Amino acid sequence: MGSVGIRFTGAGRDLASILIATLAFAILSAHFELCETVLAWTRPHERFQLDELPGILLFLALGLSWHAWRRVREVRAELRHRHVIEAQLREALHQNRLLAQAGVRAQEHERRVLARELHDELGQYVNAIKIDAVCLRNGSDGRASPVRDIALSIIRMTDHLQVVVRDIVQRLRPPGLDELGLSAAMEDCIEGWRRRLPAVEIRMEVSGDLARLDESTSITLYRLVQEGLTNVARHACASRVHILMQQRMAGTVDQPEVVLTMRDDGRGSKTSAPHAGLGLVGMRERVEALAGRFDVTSAPGAGFGFTARLPVVQLTA
């Protein structure tokens, strides 16, 4: 309504200016006897019918007014059509976001089920195989024999398989996220990356209450940090990584948001380069699916960083 009022105010001001200019022109015409002057100037050229010029100009003015009126009607119709299209696009975007959120929830549900199955079923069977191999080794009375060697080999393979299964389960579902919350799960994730990247200093700061975030927001933040640290390990050649996660009010809007910022001092890259990979695309899609905003800052030799802003949907007690 405010913008419509501004347009009407501008139109009224223009109309008042036209009326004032017309009145001033009428006063000047009466003062200088403009019509008599024009008539005296055109009388010697009667053969050119110059005295008909005022009528012709009046008809032209009316024709231009009719033309402008037709164009105004077309513009109004186009604006109405554009408003309808924009409303349809907003609805389509809303539905697309709902679909993307449903896809993320379905993906995380499948990951949770798969992680539970790996932990409960495969983990138990691997542990049973290891127990049988230990019994087989202990039954050989410590003497060197093919049976003992096979038992030791089985034990080593099951140990390795248990480590692999544990890593897969942790990647599928953040350990401790459901029981301990986002901050604890994030610390566990970062501690694991510190062990994998001992030469990289990874520092994390958390501010605000993040314990009551909804599951979609929590898992998205976790996946962003996970993917960001994966990029550091694969591409960055960095020595320091700084992660800042904070909850705050979104500017002048009375709406809380959680902001995740991650930067490294690595070699960086052009964000428009084709080799940027699908990791950033997936991160952006995750954030935008929750009606958030994802920004990347990077340049060759200047490190890489991203900022994700997500609206907060807090869980009720």
| pTM of the predicted model as reported, rounded to 2 decimal places | 0.59
pLDDT, one tens digit per residue, over 265-283 is 888 776 544 445 557 888 8
Q: Which tens digits make up the pLDDT trace of 84-134?
A: 999 999 898 888 877 877 877 787 778 778 877 877 777 787 888 888 888
Each residue's pLDDT tens digit, 62-71: 888 899 899 9
CATH topology of domain 179-317: Heat Shock Protein 90 (3.30.565)
pLDDT above 70 covers what percent of the chain? 85
pLDDT tens digits, one per residue of 153-194: 888 888 888 888 877 877 777 767 777 788 888 888 888 889
The DSSP bridge pattern shows strands 240-249 and 201-207 to be parallel
- When pLDDT is averaged across residues 1-6 and rounded to a whole number, the result is 44
Q: Which of 33-47, 169-183, 302-316 has the highest mean pLDDT?
A: 302-316
Residue ranges of domains in the chain: 2-97, 179-317
Spatial contact of 232 and 272, defined as CB atoms under 8 Å apart:
no
CA 104 – CA 82 distance, rounded (Å):
32
d(CA 241, CA 201) in angstroms, rounded, equals 6
Q: What confidence category does residue 209 fall into, taking pLDDT thresholds of 50, 70 and 90?
A: confident
Looking at every residue in the chain, the average pLDDT score rounds to: 80
Give the number of other Cβ atoms within 10 Å of residue 283's Cβ. Answer: 21
At 277, give phi and psi (nearest 5°): 85, 175
